Amino acid sequence: MPGLLFSPVCLTVIWFLSWSLCPSCAQIWTDEVSGEQYGRLESNVTLACNNSEIRLPVSWHLSHSAVLPWHQVTPNGSLVLLRVNHSAQGTYSCYDNSGRLLRSIKLRLGHPPGRLTISCQVPNHTHVRCSWVETVKTFLPAEYNASFSNGKEWSPCIVDVTQKHCDVVHPAFWQPIHTLRITETNALGSKNTTASVKLHELLKPDPPESVLVKELGGYPKKLLISWRFPSSWPQHDAFPLIFHIRYRPQGSMFWSEIYSLDNSVVIWDALAGHLHQVQVRTRDEINAESQWSEWSPLLLGRPWEDYTTPEPDVEPEDIFTLPTKSKPEASTPKSRGSKHGDEGNLGLVILLVLFSVVILTTIFSLIFVVWMRQRRRDHATKQELTSMVKMKSIPI
């Protein structure tokens, strides 16, 4: 009897009864995504019902919905989606006439990779970091592979996929030009992007750190500015830095600038009693083609000030004075002052009189000149009239 239970006929009957009595239970076992398919946006995408070319009528559903995008079904039951867009993404299920699930496919749409925009930062002689930005948004997960060449051999560039950058350690800095190659790959294809990198031109240190502005006791026009090398810069005599310091009184539009090879400098021409704005930046001293770092954050500092308090004034009532007689000499300073004031007023009056005389003389001279010209014109007119009369009186 146990062998009868496991005979093919008995198993078929048991499967048929279980499916007919509980069809939903059968779908629980088979309603799983049997595959994932990728398609290109704005193109036609074909979804096959199963691997065999069946001729049975089938029906397609999108995410358990009967509404499908613009489509057509081929004779072998494949679903062709026409000019798909993002709304066509989802899980497609293929059923036969009896409602049995034949296949379930998850469709994801996007674009193949395009060219990348690459930029590199060189904070010191031992480290290169290159990042990239997609020029084509693919909407699909991608993998990146990067390599760095000094013209002779390729070395890996360690990729951080989440941040989309890669790092090169100890590059061959003496080589003038390097090549970076990045390959982006997704389900629809791959694309290589190469870029030439000139390390000596891209060398740009990080800004100086721990910048401080201090006063110098007893010096109201001096400020002490100190800083530390960037922590990313190797502390070695082979890589010296030059520092650029700028400062100005708060509210001024013009900066004063000085340069230093040390990590501190004294300002000698600060404006006494005023706050000053200070910033520092740095650059590789030997490589003149390198770039200046960004400016350090703006700091404020004030020169030393003398805060000694003046002696209190003595109240008038505390002073004991002896009674004295008034003397006529007490009015002497006032009389002298009034005398000087009168002399000043007299000089001003004389200047005004002379100025008036000059003005009047100029006016009378102009009037005389105009009168003389008018008189000459009148005389000439009379002569012309006389000659005309004589001409008329002559017999013809």
Residue 124 has pLDDT above 90, yes or no: yes
Helix axes 8-21, 23-30, angle to 10 degrees: 100
CA-based torsion, 159, 165, 169, 170: positive or negative: positive
Which tokens in the block code for residue 87? 């709304």
Q: Which domains are present in the chain?
A: 34-110 (2.60.40.10), 116-197 (2.60.40.10), 209-301 (2.60.40.10)
3-state secondary structure of 180: strand
Q: What is the pLDDT at residue 111?
A: 95
Mean pLDDT for 45-73 is 76
Which tokens in the block code for residue 389? 């009369």
Check if the beta carbon of residue 39 is closer than 8 Å to that of residue 45: yes
In degrees, to the nearest 5, what angle opens at C-alpha 261 toward C-alphas 258 and 262? 100
Q: What is the pLDDT at residue 119?
A: 95
- What whole-number percentage of the chain has pLDDT above 70? 77
Which tokens in the block code for residue 365? 């001279």
Residue 256 vs residue 238, higher pLDDT: 256
Q: What is the pLDDT at residue 117?
A: 96
Residue 70 vs residue 129, higher pLDDT: 129
Check if the beta carbon of residue 107 is closer than 8 Å to that of residue 139: no
Residue type for position 18: S
Q: What is the pLDDT of residues 255-286, one digit of tens each?
A: 999 999 999 999 999 999 999 999 999 999 99
Mean pLDDT for 231-249 is 91
Q: Tell me, what DSSP letter sits at residue 15?
A: H
Q: Tell me, what DSSP letter sits at residue 68?
A: -
Q: pTM (2 decimals)?
A: 0.61
Q: Which residues contact 131 (CB under 8 A, 6 or more apart)?
A: 118, 119, 120, 121, 163, 164, 165
The HSE-up count of residue 162 (CA atoms within 13 Å, CB side) is 0
Mean pLDDT for 140-169 is 93
